[in-house]
Amino acid sequence: MALVGCGSAVPAASITNQQLSERVDTNDEWIRTRTGIRARRIAGPSESLTCLASRAAQAALDHAGWSPDDVDLILLATSSPDDLFGTAPRVQGTLGARRAVAFDLTAACSGFLFALITASQYLGSGTMKRALVIGADQLSRWVDWDDRSTCVLFGDGAGSVAVEACGAQDNGLLGFRMRSDGSRNGCLTLAQLDKHAPLLGELTAQRGGFAPIQMNGQEVYKFAVREVPAILSELLEATGTAPEQLDWLLLHQANQRILDAVADRFAIDHSQVLSNLALYGNTSAATIPLMLDEAVKDGRVQPGHLLASSGFGAGLSWGAALLRWQGPTD
């Protein structure tokens, strides 16, 4: 599987820490020192998840030099769909990718990596040739904006990559690992509301809806700084890759302290850690492709560069992938 194109999209409106302090009891220094976040993008009335995902996917198509009819598969990693029956088909329709099968994949902040690995299996089997993998979330609709422990963390955005089947010499997915631990699910949830209404006689029916995001920040932080280095170590050992061979660390953008801790674990210079969370906050499944697109477009990530990537979050779930960027082919 070769990674041959990328794209991203973010809402127009940006809310700074100082602006947020007008709503809740917080301040810029408190947020920055604990998370590294300075601002986050928030979708407006005309910026649905479908809109953001479609814009990112179209940008990846353009970058790869594909037409919509070239696409066999569209995978949308999201935990905040516009339609619980699936938002990927809406994206397919918007793009005009008539030949593509499209479906959602939900794995929270690990979603993009899980979707990328899933796409690789279709391409590797020979059943499909080209795929768009999108990570997009609009968690602003599920944040309690009066809860300063969570509302300061999340933002909206989308990112996408175009991937295609290739020979071994161009393979861009050199190895991967995936993990889940449902026994720790309660650390980070966006849970169904436990509300029931009378139906017939003594029977009731549950009403749809979800509670705001709930998070045990300390436990999630400890989970990340323990499990991410462990799974990356396992992957690097399995692929015979030394940390000094890596060009970049491309990690889920949740907290700058987590990114720095992982770099320190492998003695990787902090300048090799790709980070844009200061401007966007935690965009969940979008963080990795959003960061990749930024680094490709500004020239930091070049064809042939080797990236160790890890996604981690609710589920609890986490994963890692060793990626080589190729970029558009002639």
Q: Are 108 and 313 in contact (CB under 8 A)?
A: yes
203: helix, coil or strand? strand
Q: How far apart are CA 93 and CA 90, in angstroms?
A: 5
258 and 300 co-located in one domain: yes
DSSP character at residue 65: T
Containing 325, the helix (H) or strand (E) segment is none
Residues acting as catalytic residues = 109, 252, 282
Query: 176, 168, 56, 66: which is closest to 116 by C-alpha?
Result: 176
* Residue type (1 letter), 214: Q
CA–CA separation, 139 and 42 (whole Å)? 9
Do 165 and 178 lie in one domain? The reply is: no
Domain-embedded: residue 207: no
Both 181 and 113 in a single domain? no
Provide the residue range defining the domain that includes 300.
173-185+212-324
Query: Which amino acid would we find at residue 101?
Result: V
In a domain, 308, yes or no: yes
Give CA–CA dist 110/312, Å, rounded: 5
Instruction: Judge if 165 and 48 occupy the same domain.
Output: yes
The C-alpha atoms of residue 189 and residue 236 are separated, in whole angstroms, by: 31
Contact 97, 68 (CB under 8 A): yes
Instruction: Quote the CA–CA distance of 161 and 2 in Å, as a whole number.
Output: 10
Specify the residue for token string 């401007």.
279
Q: Looking at the structure, tell me whether residues 125 and 178 fall in a common domain.
A: no
> What are phi and psi for residue 245, nearest 5 degrees?
-80, -15
Count of CB atoms within 10 A of residue 222's CB?
A: 12
- One pLDDT digit (tens) per residue for the chain, 330 residues: 999 999 999 999 999 999 999 999 999 999 999 999 999 999 999 999 999 999 999 999 999 999 999 999 999 999 999 999 999 999 999 999 999 999 999 999 999 999 999 999 999 999 999 999 999 999 999 999 999 999 999 999 999 999 999 999 999 999 999 999 999 999 999 999 999 999 999 999 999 999 999 999 999 999 999 999 999 999 999 999 999 999 999 999 999 999 999 999 999 999 999 999 999 999 999 999 999 999 999 999 999 999 999 999 999 999 999 999 999 987
| Rounded Cα gap, residues 217 and 214, in angstroms | 9
Q: Are residues 151 and 256 in the same domain?
A: no
User: What is this structure's pTM?
Assistant: 0.96
| pLDDT attached to residue 329 | 86
Start-end of H helices in the chain? 17-20, 28-35, 49-64, 88-95, 111-125, 148-151, 217-239, 256-265, 277-280, 287-297
CA distance 153 to 31: 9
In this structure, the dihedral spanned by the alpha carbons of residues 309, 282, 131 and 58, taken in order and rounded to 10 degrees, is: -130
Tell me whether residue 202 is in a domain: no
What CATH code is carried by the domain that includes residue 222? 3.40.47.10
In a domain, 191, yes or no: no
User: How many alpha carbons lie under 13 Å from residue 154 in its C-beta half-sphere?
Assistant: 29
